[in-house]
Amino acid sequence: MTETRVRFAPSPTGFFHIGSARTALFNWLYARHTGGKFILRIEDTDKERNTEEALQVLIDGMKWLGINWDEGPLVEGPCGPYFQSQRSNIYREWLTKLETAGRTYEKDGAIWFRLEGERSVVYDDYLKKEVEKVAAAPVVIEDAIRGRVERAEDRDFVIFRASGDPVFHFVNVVDDITMGITHVIRGEDHLSNTSKHVELFRAFGADVPTFAHMPLILKEVGQGKMSKRDQGALVEDYQKQHYLSEAVRNYLCLLGWSPKDDREILPIDEIIDLFDLPGITQTNARFDGKKMAFINSHYVRAMPIESFTWLAKPILVEADLIPEDYDEDRLQSILALCQEKVRGLGELAQFARYFFKDDFATDEKALNKVTKKGDPAARLDEAAQALEQLSKFDAESIETAIAAAAEVSGNKPGAYMPLMRVALSGTNVGPSFYPMLEIMGQGCVVDRLRQFRATLS
């Protein structure tokens, strides 16, 4: 059996859209599933738009997602160069093959591909002029996802522009042939090009690869395909928001594919194992930012505390919450508390601020809620007093001290906790209460309780 060779063939635009990332990912999954090769080919024939930076965005995004390529830029391989802009000689050579076979002609300075079939001149209502039509035999595509698709080309088409530049259809097919591509897995928007491509493969006398056209990714709300302007459409958005790349990758795997059970969180090795082309859905996949965030929070909570700390530290340093040389053990204890509650690293700096700074914001709603009932001033005085006296300031002693204070005042510990939490952290949600106080430390806790008490008349 021949080795599976698939490719991701982006045109660098300066953005790495999640639709492109999904295309790259599905090709990569298929290569890994079959033990074949995954090739990165840069379709950079549009000279204006293709810059060094645009390429870097793409390479960074793929590396971040862990989609490694076996042949392509930086890696090289037997079928290079892997940039279309560096393959002009190859395209000229392959044009000669078509010329020799009598399948080209020149018109208006451009080089056209001649279809085989009966020719006739008909009046085109749309163009309002007479055009030559070709009754070519329909092309049958046994698409690995969409099933049988039939489509006939009825006009010859340009393969080299008057400028001398080859056209997308031509270079795409020549590269797929010369790179030995066995499966073309790409977006459904290319299905309309496929009959042209098949005609070219045949004219070259080459084997036609298996096509697999993936469903579109629809925008989260409203109609239509997700575009680069839509919220959450770019891989770099997730990088900037400190999403975990494994989580983003896991989510992208579900855009048009599923493991046939209800699972949404799967290790990548298992996805590679289960992944196959017939498993890709025909129905369009709607982007769901909430699901992405949910999957991310799962990965955040499941990661070892050492890794979480390693990722979190630079974020906290960047936000000016801690210095570079902050005590590692203390940092890890704080982060262990945050990890169980925070939904993503993107909200960590805001979430954890009160552990490091006194100038945290206070949530008005939470404040009203805890101060409008009972006698908050009295409860705060009692709590501060009870905690001040502790000689050992650990979670257990704190809990016991608050319980004792509650007993004396004839209240439940519940009359203290939410109130104290708002006083200490400005919010009524957060990590486990007593461990939080322990790590904050006696001085900080007592001071904050007293300061907060002073704000109540």
**Site track for ligand GLU across 20-59, x = CB under 6 A:** -----------------------x----------------
Contact between 187 and 256 (Cβ < 8 Å): no
Binder among 11, 239, 333, 409 for ligand GLU (CB under 6 A)? 11
Query: Exposure of 78 by Cβ count < 10 A (0-12 exposed, 13-18 middle, 19+ buried)?
Result: exposed
Shortest distance in whole angstroms from residue 438 CB to ligand GLU: 55
Which residues within the stretch 185-214 sit at the binding site for ligand GLU (CB under 6 A)? 186, 190
Q: CB neighbours (10 Å) of residue 123? A: 9
State how far the Cα of 65 lies from the Cα of 47, in Å rounded to an integer.
27
State how far the Cα of 312 lies from the Cα of 413, in Å rounded to an integer.
33
Establish whether the linkage from the previous residue to 81 is cis, with ω within 30° of 0.
Answer: yes
Alpha helix ranges (H) inside 142-216: 168-178, 191-203
State how far the Cα of 381 lies from the Cα of 389, in Å rounded to an integer.
13
State how far the Cα of 208 lies from the Cα of 451, in Å rounded to an integer.
76
Shortest distance in whole angstroms from residue 318 CB to ligand GLU: 34
Shortest distance in whole angstroms from residue 279 CB to ligand GLU: 20
Taking contact as CB under 6 A, which single stretch among the options 5-13, 75-83, 253-261, 358-366 is the one that binds ligand GLU?
A: 5-13
The one catalytic residue in 228, 291, 313, 341 is 228
Contact between 343 and 301 (Cβ < 8 Å): no
CA 55 to chain centre: 17
Taking contact as CB under 6 A, which single stretch among the options 7-15, 109-117, 260-268, 448-456 is the one that binds ligand GLU?
A: 7-15
Reply yes or no on whether 373 is catalytic: no
84 binds ligand GLU (CB under 6 A): no
**Six-digit token string for 16:** 């790495």
Shortest distance in whole angstroms from residue 49 CB to ligand GLU: 11
The footprint of ligand GLU on this chain (CB under 6 A) covers a number of residues equal to 8
State how far the Cα of 31 lies from the Cα of 165, in Å rounded to an integer.
32
Determine the straight-line distance between the first and last CA of the chain, rounded to whole angstroms. Answer: 83
Shortest distance in whole angstroms from residue 191 CB to ligand GLU: 11
Which residues within the stretch 391-410 sit at the binding site for ligand GLU (CB under 6 A)? none
Locate the DSSP E strands across 94-202: 104-107, 110-113, 118-124, 129-135, 139-143, 147-151, 157-160, 183-187
- Please state, in angstroms and as integers, the Cα–Cα distance from residue 418 to each residue in 301, 348, 432, 453, following that order: 24, 21, 12, 14
Binder among 10, 36, 346, 435 for ligand GLU (CB under 6 A)? 10
The residue among 146 and 190 lying less far from ligand GLU, judged by its C-beta, is 190
9 binds ligand GLU (CB under 6 A): yes
Contact between 247 and 295 (Cβ < 8 Å): yes
The residue among 9 and 177 lying less far from ligand GLU, judged by its C-beta, is 9
The residue among 186 and 353 lying less far from ligand GLU, judged by its C-beta, is 186
Q: CB neighbours (10 Å) of residue 337? A: 18
State how far the Cα of 196 lies from the Cα of 339, in Å rounded to an integer.
53
The residue among 94 and 354 lying less far from ligand GLU, judged by its C-beta, is 94
Shortest distance in whole angstroms from residue 212 CB to ligand GLU: 11
The residue among 11 and 258 lying less far from ligand GLU, judged by its C-beta, is 11
Taking contact as CB under 6 A, which single stretch among the options 8-16, 53-61, 107-115, 254-262 is the one that binds ligand GLU?
A: 8-16
228 binds ligand GLU (CB under 6 A): no
Q: CB neighbours (10 Å) of residue 218? A: 18
Shortest distance in whole angstroms from residue 136 CB to ligand GLU: 21
**Site track for ligand GLU across 257-276, x = CB under 6 A:** --------------------
The residue among 209 and 435 lying less far from ligand GLU, judged by its C-beta, is 209
The residue among 136 and 173 lying less far from ligand GLU, judged by its C-beta, is 173
Instruction: Find where tokens 């925070």 sit.
Output: 342
- Please state, in angstroms and as integers, the Cα–Cα distance from residue 85 to each residue in 80, 91, 166, following that order: 11, 10, 10
296 binds ligand GLU (CB under 6 A): no
Number of helices (H) and strands (E) in the chain: give both, helices first.
18, 13
The residue among 200 and 383 lying less far from ligand GLU, judged by its C-beta, is 200
Question: If you compute the radius of gyration of the chain from its CA atoms, what whole number of angstroms results?
Answer: 31
Taking contact as CB under 6 A, which single stretch among the options 28-36, 154-162, 182-190, 328-336 is the one that binds ligand GLU?
A: 182-190
172 binds ligand GLU (CB under 6 A): yes
Shortest distance in whole angstroms from residue 426 CB to ligand GLU: 48
Could you list the active site residues? 228
What is the contact surface with ligand GLU in residues (CB under 6 A)? 9-11, 43, 172, 184, 186, 190
